[in-house]
Amino acid sequence: MTNLSVNINKIATLRNARGENNPDVEAVALDIERFGADGITVHPRPDERHIRRRDVYRLRPLLRSEFNIEGYPAPDFMDLVLKVRPTQVTLVPDAPDALTSSAGWNVVEHFDFLTSIVERLKDAGIRTSIFVDPDPEQVKAAARTGADRVELYTKPYADNYASNREAAVAPFVEAALTARKCGLGVNAGHDLSLENLAFFSERIPFLSEVSIGHALICDALYLGLEETVRRYKAALKRK
């Protein structure tokens, strides 16, 4: 069974719009766990436009499921995650002002840097995942850094799903098989939705986790949060 980790950044964005505490990010995270999610993901950015550092500190002792923190491994980010010690840190190559993640790491080019970051995280007992495009060479390089997993950047799959889903998923199947051969776990995320998730889950071998935020929160506006989490979990069940 593939785990569902819900990214709650959009909940924090809504809260921050009014400068108060409605919706309550901590309460929503606990509800999402209660509704059946296997984990909570946050992506604190330097400008704190959604999740704030204090959210991360407050969530850590409350959560019973896996806690995944995404981000670019700048000194401030590393200081945060080494203090909080979540279940998993997902390393992304985003610039500080990036609207959202738009590509995976060029692990080959940044190999020494990423290797040093992975070593620090693993020394702290934190599972480490590197965000990559579905490129076997990048997956192999990620394995050589000592990382535990890769997270496959799935926007290209989502963009091409409607026109040719077999062609859209093929590079991700190859990347997942490569990861398996290299001893890496496989995560995935970005633009996965109720429309395209079930097919992706069926076709990708050894898929450990998907991290989904934007689409899930959008669906919850119509379906309600509990029903939405239930449907995403159902889409991950193997037939």
Closest C-alpha among 164, 162, 152, 160 to residue 201: 152
Determine the Cα–Cα distance for residues 137 and 92; give it in Å rounded to an integer: 17
Residues 6+ away with beta carbon under 8 Å from 121 = 81, 82, 89, 128
| Residue 30: CA count within 13 A, CB half-sphere | 11
Placement of tokens 């985003």 in the chain? 94
Judging by beta carbons within 10 Å of its beta carbon (0-12, 13-18, 19+), is residue 67 exposed, middle or buried? buried
Q: Report the catalytic residues.
A: 43, 70, 190
Q: 134 preceded by cis ω (within 30°)?
A: no
The separation between CA 26 and the C-alpha centre of its own chain, rounded to angstroms, equals 18
DSSP state of 201: H
Other C-beta atoms within 10 Å of 179: how many?
Answer: 26
